[in-house]
Each structure stands twice: as C-alpha cells, then as structure tokens.
Amino acid sequence: MPKDFLCLTDWNKEELDRIFALTADLKARQKRAEPHRLLEGKTLAMIFEKSSTRTRVSFEVGMFQLGGHALFLHSGTTQMGRGEPIKDTGRVMARYCDGIMIRTFSQEAVEELAHWSKVPVINGLTDLYHPCQLMADLFTVIEHKGGYEGLTFAWIGDGNNMANSWINAAAVFGFRLQVATPEGYRPDEEVMRRAAELGADVSYTSDPLAAAEGADVLSTDVWASMGQEDEAEKRRRAFAGYQLNRPVLEAAADDAIVLHCLPAHRGEEITDEVIESKQSVVFDEAENRLHVQKAIMATLMG
C-alpha cells in the first residue's frame, strides 16, 4: 500500500475498494452515534495555499470524530509564505504531526512534500488532481447505484483537475467514461496518454449530448476554477452549451444521477432545475467527502 494519497493511479483497485468498505463502516458507525476513535491522540497538519470550505471542514471534523486533532495552516501565515523550501516544511511537520494534508496549486509541490515527509501526505487538491473528491463521488455512486461496475460515466465541461481525476479513475476501476470539453480545454495530455496505456475505456468529444448519451452518471464542475478568475468571461463564451441541463439529462439513462463537486455556479455549468432535481445526489456527494477522507486518514495514519 502506498504511504501517501497523491493520485488515484498510485493505488490499485483492490486497495481503493478497501477504502470504500472502510468508508461505509465509518459512515454507519457515525449514523449510529457509535464512537470510532481510530486516530486517538494523532495530529493532522492541514496546509492551505488555496482557500476552501468543504476540504477544511471535512478534514477538520473528520479528525475530531476519529479522536485526533487537525491544525489549520494557511501558507501566507507560515514560513512557506516567506520562502521556506517545501522540503524543509515537510521534514519539520513530520516531526510534529502524524500526517499532512495539503491543498495547493502545483502537483509537483505535493509530490516534493511527500518525498521529504516521513509521515503520510494527502492531496487535498492541486491544479492537476482532486483524488479525495473523486473518491467521494464514486462512493456516492456506489451508494445510489449499488456499485460502479458496468456503468457509463459522463464528464461535461472543463478538462480540469476533476476531469483528470475521472480519467485516472476509469483507468483504475475499469468503467466507461465519456468526456466532452470545448476545443482548447481538453484534459491534461499526459493524463490521457497514460490512461490509454493502462487500457482505460475513455472517449473524448466536443459534443455534450454525445457524451451524455446513455450515461448512468453525469458530472461537471465550474467553468473557471480558483486562480482562473481573470479568464472567466473568455471561458463563459467557450463553455456556452457545456451545461448540465434538461436536454443533457434526457440524453442520459432514465435513472441517471447527477454529480457536482461544488461550489456550483447555477445557470452556468448546471441549471438550478437539474441540481435541485430528484436525480441530483450533489449533497450526498458533499457529505461523503467527510466519510471518505476519514477512511483515507485511518488507512494511512491508523
């Protein structure tokens, strides 16, 4: 089993399925108000270079429920913000804490931190990947569909860190993925190449309706992610039509479910009608960040 949780393709299907099984167990224990203090007395350092709502709250609450403590560190108020090398931060934090979660821009920074840290490092988000969110998404699918095997997934929108993570997931778990992005906004070339080498069943198109055709799960994200605010107007023009709306939902399977990692810009990448529909499981998905990340922390730090 890997020491860190940086990218889905670092893990195999059996290892990730065990995390899903632990997620289900921990969620059930919480619903029964049954203590599950698997990380009693342990501490997680949470380093944020990108601001957050769900990531911070879910990791902090998760550590508390597991019996441990989470320490919030904003890079601008630490020595990292004054130019301390990542390798120095990683070596020092590992002497204080039992694990590190980092939410930042560069995947290379996360990998460097993990290289120098003797304790597990969890990728809370980078511009390239968002593996914890993808695990929460898939666990939500398992809850609502009974599993992911044999399903067709559709990604419609930006070829961003979530699109890259869905492609990695298709390579690891073996489900079919249909990706629709505008020209010039495709997923990362290296991610697509590596997935193809791994035999992933992924197709790419610029037609949202073609990607949605027969899909059991529809997913999207904002058109302009954090750090891309200056491109917002250009992206609105490029992504016009790449929206989860009624026609796209009707192209999918009759019992398709809808995912969105939030925050949502209603009226842009998804309509209010769709996100509030009976087919939307968006808020179950958001809750499952807590349960999945508890399982990841317990697996790595327990």
In the chain, CATH 3.40.50.1370 covers: 8-130+286-301, 132-284
Kindly compute the dihedral angle of the four CA atoms of residues 8, 14, 17, 22, in this order, to the nearest 10 degrees. -110
Contact 100, 117 (CB under 8 A): yes
Angstrom CA distances, 222 to 8, 168, 236, 264, 266, stand at: 22, 20, 10, 6, 9
| 37 labeled binding residue | no
Q: Which residues of the chain have pLDDT under 70?
A: 81, 226-229
Q: Which amino acid is at 237?
A: R
288 is in an annotated binding site: no
Domain 132-284 has CATH 3.40.50.1370: yes
**What pLDDT is stored for residue 244 in this prediction?**
98
Residues labelled catalytic:
103, 130, 133, 221, 261, 289
CB 281 within 8 A of CB 144: yes
Q: Which amino acid is at 228?
A: Q
Please state which of the four CATH numbers 3.90.78.10, 3.40.50.1370, 3.30.750.24, 1.10.10.10 is assigned to the domain occupying 8-130+286-301. Answer: 3.40.50.1370
pLDDT at 226: 62
If you count them, how many residues does the chain have?
302
Is 97 among the annotated ligand-binding positions?
Answer: no
Query: At which residue do the structure tokens 């609105």 appear?
Result: 236
Q: Report the predicted TM-score, pTM, of the whole model to 2 decimal places.
A: 0.96
Please tell me whether residue 103 adopts helix, strand or coil conformation.
strand
7 annotated ligand binder: no
104 labeled binding residue: no
Q: What is the DSSP string of 8-39?
A: GGGS-HHHHHHHHHHHHHHHHHHHTT----TT
Among the listed residues 134, 131, 175, the one whose alpha carbon sits nearest the alpha carbon of residue 153: 175
